[in-house]
Amino acid sequence: MCDRETLLTEEAVYMHKLFFGATAPVEVVRQYVAANLRCPLAADGSESGAIHKIVTRELDAEAIEFVLRCRRQSRTLTQKVHILFYLVEVRTHYSSWFVSTAPGRWRALAAVAWALLRSSWKYAKGSYLVWRHRLV
Amino acid sequence: MFDAIIVGSGPAGVFAARALRGLHVVVVDVGFKPPDSLAPSMEGSAWDSPLKTDLHDFLIGPNFEGLRNIWEPDVNLKLKSPLMSFVVKDWERLAPVQGHGFCPMVSLAKGGLANAWGAGVYRFSSEDLAEFPVALAELQPFYDQVSDHIGVSGAEDDLAVEFGLESHLLPPVRLSRLSSALLAAYERRRDKMRRAGVKVGFARLAVLTEPRGGRGAYSSDNLDFYRPHNPAIYHPSITLDELIDKGEVQYEPGRLVLCYEDRGSHVEVVARNLRSGLLERLPARSVFIAAGTLNTTRIVLESHGDYESRLPILDNPMSCVPFFHPSDIGGSLDGCNSSLAQLNVVYRDNDSGQRCQGSVFGTTGPLRSDVLFRLPFAVSSNRTLAKHLAPAMALVMLFYPAPTSSENHVRLNTQGALEIHYQAPRRGHAERSLIRAFRKLGFFSASWMCQYPPMGSSLHYAGTLPMRQVPGRYQTDRMGRLFGSSRVYVVDGACFSTLPAKNLTMTIMANAMRIATGARSQLS
């Protein structure tokens, strides 16, 4: 496996654990690597270096991506996260992450409220991490 | 020699072919087709968990076609799926269009853009046809023939006066829980809504809700967004294949028509055979150009060797307005929430009289990942929002009448590409009015949530070679004949005189039949 594929594998493994709290299935990792190799993502040397830091230092990629997206400073991390989400959404095992199949209005409202609060925290954390680790 | 060559196999081409069947007719087309293996066989809808299979190849594709919108954000969500991508295959290479203030889309597929359409079919009214040199009474019999052939479902409700009366309307597609709530709320407050200029009713769709002519009835499996050629949803290939099977027309795919040469006694169509690369010349007594407004325009300008003239172009400005129904937040996925339009909305401004029309969609069509980064929060929060709010969300795609402005034009450049310049008009007034009106129905939105796709996104292109009572250069007469020729007919949206805020496909079909029927008497 060449260096780039190794890095992409590490990205997939790390981000899947971060976002979905479990080990990534081999097929998802394989598809993530293949998609990154195939798709014309916006990437230059500095962004690749930042992503490598995020993975090796196990930084909160979600928080960092959110801040960078808000500031419109970088697209590559967003694109990589986007790829991962597409790849898992079309798999049976992940359907409950994306689709609500059991009614529950108050549970849903609570989840939405928590998601909004959590997002504020992620922004603050992401701002700190971008500054602390000089990611941009 | 052929009696008629028809260029293109979209709605205009196949209905012109239908009107000319039995004569010596050939349809010449590039004709890309969908892949042979259309879908994994499955029972139930795509969202029935116990029966759901992994849908990677179906929704993403072995070559990751479904991820195109990650780096090309203007890709139409429906057209990026692997099974739909044939609809827009290779147009940038074979029929290039450069847009300035305009995002074009061209189809070279068999059946055209209608392979991926929303199936909305609406008759133009007398008001819509005011600028056309054709009266509604002349189109009416052809509308009837089109309706009988394709099958139209809907209801005779408050929108009947807007969409025309159908003699054999099939029952409407079953409404989702959300759309039922919207319609019920409207009916309770009908008078108030109509005073505000808003009418709501069932969508008129070219969808069979009862079996007919070998085509089964529609059942929602939430895969319409991704999979073409559901036999219950009309598409032009149905008609073309019937004509071919009966030996009534000939079909020559794999050919890109470049231009024609009017020889006086006949016309020669010049096409490039895409397999051999060679030019072919096909002689005929007449040619019916139905290649879609943009390609038709290219063919006509190329035929005149004209790289200077600017032709008008019409396109419906559009907006996307999300509405939320709080009662349905956290609801479970609704199996009836198909990706087809559920309801229609017509808004008429009480002051200006401007009429806008919208379609109400559920949100189970696109993947959640399609919208994850359009929401303004952290991605996992966006996922939570999408999961719990989607059952409570309806999307209104609103269309405005096409503005007529000399700023909006198309020309052909010397490199063979069309150049379109378009000035987007101001939008927002109709959306604000609709938001105020829907609030009274318990559906909420806000102006800042409205999205305004770039011009060209509607895929309703028309008016480059408009019909006039007394046509001039690059205009057509009321029988679709191009000025300066008695053998060249324009039968698609290019010959439209104006473009109201209404899906134009049914009128394209009816008008193409009308023109071809009129021409037939001369040809036979």
Given an 8 Å threshold on Cβ–Cβ distance, is B380 in contact with A34? no
Determine contact, residues B420/B336, Cβ cutoff 8 Å. Answer: no
First to last CA, chain B: 14
Determine contact, residues B292/B10, Cβ cutoff 8 Å. Answer: yes
Given an 8 Å threshold on Cβ–Cβ distance, is B378 in contact with A38? no
Provide the 3-class DSSP secondary structure of residue B21.
Answer: strand
Question: What is d(CA B468, CA A111) in angstroms, rounded to the nearest whole number?
Answer: 59
**DSSP per position, B323-365:** EE-GGGTTPPPPTT--SS--EEEEEE-TTT--EEEEEEE-SSS
**What digits encode the pLDDT tens for the residues B131-170?**
999 999 999 999 999 999 999 999 999 999 999 888 889 9
pLDDT at B77: 81
Could you tell me the two tokens for B65?
A: 């076609």
Q: Which residue is associated with the tokens 């701002």?
A: A127
pLDDT of A2 above 80 = no
H or E element at residue B258: strand B255-262
Could you tell me the two tokens for B336?
A: 């009836």
What are the sequence ranges of the domains in chain A?
A: 3-94+101-132
pLDDT of B221 above 80 = no
Determine contact, residues B35/B52, Cβ cutoff 8 Å. Answer: no
Provide the CB-side half-sphere exposure for B209 (13 A, CA): 16
Question: What is d(CA B157, CA B154) in angstroms, rounded to the nearest whole number?
Answer: 9
pLDDT at B50: 42
ipTM value, please give it: 0.94
pLDDT of B212 above 70 = yes
H or E element at residue B144: helix B136-150
**CB distance from A9 to chain B under 8 Å?**
no
Amino acid at B23: L
What's the Rg (C-alpha) of chain A? 16
Residues of chain B with pLDDT > 90, as a percent, come to: 77
Which is higher by pLDDT, B78 or A27?
A27
pLDDT at B502: 93
What residues are paired with B100 via a beta bridge? B421
Question: What is d(CA B232, CA B335) in angstroms, rounded to the nearest whole number?
Answer: 17
**CB distance from A124 to chain B under 8 Å?**
no
Amino acid at B208: L
Bridge pairing between strands B393-399 and B355-361: antiparallel
pLDDT of A57 above 90 = yes
**What digits encode the pLDDT tens for the residues B463-494?**
999 999 999 999 999 999 999 999 999 999 99
**What residue in B sits closest to A93 (Cα-Cα)?**
B54
pLDDT at B167: 80
Judged by average pLDDT, the poorest of B74-78, B288-292, B298-302, B392-396 is: B74-78
Question: What is d(CA A2, CA A14) in angstroms, rounded to the nearest whole number?
Answer: 18
* Of B217, B273, B233, B221, residue with least CA distance to B111: B233
- Length of chain B equals 524
Instruction: Collect all residues of chain A within an 8 Å Cβ-Cβ radius of residue B367.
Output: 86, 89-90, 98
pLDDT at B298: 98
Given an 8 Å threshold on Cβ–Cβ distance, is B330 in contact with A69? no
Cβ contacts of B191 within 8 Å, gap of 6 or more: none
pLDDT of B37 above 70 = no
pLDDT at A39: 80
Provide the 3-class DSSP secondary structure of residue B1.
Answer: coil
**DSSP per position, B401-464:** PPP--TT-EEEE-TTS-EEEE--PPP--HHHHHHHHHHHTTT-B--GGG-B-PPTTTT--EE-S
User: From edge to edge, which strands make up the β-sheet containing B198-202?
Assistant: B198-202, B343-348, B355-361, B393-399, B318-324
**What digits encode the pLDDT tens for the residues B42-86?**
555 555 544 456 788 888 988 898 898 888 777 778 888 888 889
pLDDT of A34 above 50 = yes
Determine contact, residues B83/B62, Cβ cutoff 8 Å. Answer: no
Residues of chain B with pLDDT > 70, as a percent, come to: 96
Determine contact, residues B389/B371, Cβ cutoff 8 Å. Answer: no
**What residue in A sits closest to B55 (Cα-Cα)?**
A90
Cβ contacts of A21 within 8 Å, gap of 6 or more: none
List the single residue in B52, B329, B383 with the smallest CB-CB distance to A92: B52
Q: Which residue is associated with the tokens 């801040």?
A: A67
List the single residue in B67, B380, B388 with the smallest CB-CB distance to A83: B67
pLDDT at B165: 81
User: Is the pTM of the predicted complex or chain greater than 0.80?
Assistant: yes
pLDDT at B315: 97
* Of B245, B242, B255, B239, residue with least CA distance to B31: B255
Determine contact, residues B272/B299, Cβ cutoff 8 Å. Answer: no
**CB distance from A128 to chain B under 8 Å?**
no
The residue-averaged pLDDT of B333-349 equals 84
DSSP-H helix ranges across B196-278: 236-245
Given an 8 Å threshold on Cβ–Cβ distance, is B383 in contact with A90? no
Amino acid at B428: G
Could you tell me the two tokens for B184?
A: 């019920």
List the single residue in B67, B333, B380 with the smallest CB-CB distance to A100: B333
The residue-averaged pLDDT of B25-43 equals 79
Provide the 3-class DSSP secondary structure of residue B113.
Answer: helix
Given an 8 Å threshold on Cβ–Cβ distance, is B329 in contact with A105? yes
pLDDT of A43 above 60 = no
**What residue in A sits closest to B392 (Cα-Cα)?**
A105
The phi and psi torsions of A68 (rounded to 5 degrees) equal -65, -35
Question: What is d(CA B159, CA B199) in angstroms, rounded to the nearest whole number?
Answer: 7
The phi and psi torsions of B109 (rounded to 5 degrees) equal -85, 160
Question: What is d(CA B21, CA B319) in angstroms, rounded to the nearest whole number?
Answer: 40
Cβ contacts of A52 within 8 Å, gap of 6 or more: A7
The residue-averaged pLDDT of B235-239 equals 96
Question: What is d(CA B25, CA B56) in angstroms, rounded to the nearest whole number?
Answer: 42
* Of B107, B114, B116, residue with least CA distance to B84: B116
The phi and psi torsions of B77 (rounded to 5 degrees) equal -60, -35
Determine contact, residues B336/B177, Cβ cutoff 8 Å. Answer: yes
Q: What does the DSSP 8-state code read for residue B107? A: -
Cβ contacts of B524 within 8 Å, gap of 6 or more: B3, B23
Question: What is d(CA A66, CA A5) in angstroms, rounded to the nearest whole number?
Answer: 25
> What is the rounded average pLDDT for all residues in chain B?
92
Q: Which residues of B touch A (CB under 8 A)?
A: 47, 49, 52-56, 58-60, 63-64, 66-67, 70-71, 327, 329-333, 367-369, 372-373, 376-381, 383-391
Determine contact, residues B11/B509, Cβ cutoff 8 Å. Answer: yes
**DSSP per position, B65-103:** GGGGGGT-TTS-GGGGSTTTGGGGTTHHHHS-EEEES--
Q: Which residues of B284-298 are buried (b: 16+ CB within 10 A; e: fewer)?
A: bbbbbbbbbbbbbbb
pLDDT at B51: 44
Question: Nearest CA to CA, how far is B337 from chain A (Å)?
Answer: 13
Could you tell me the two tokens for B315?
A: 């396109």
pLDDT at B446: 95
Provide the 3-class DSSP secondary structure of residue B218.
Answer: coil
pLDDT bucket at B41, cuts 50 / 70 / 90: low
Judged by average pLDDT, the poorest of A72-86, A88-102, B103-117, B263-277 is: A88-102
Question: What is d(CA B465, CA B468) in angstroms, rounded to the nearest whole number?
Answer: 9
Question: What is d(CA B340, CA B119) in angstroms, rounded to the nearest whole number?
Answer: 8
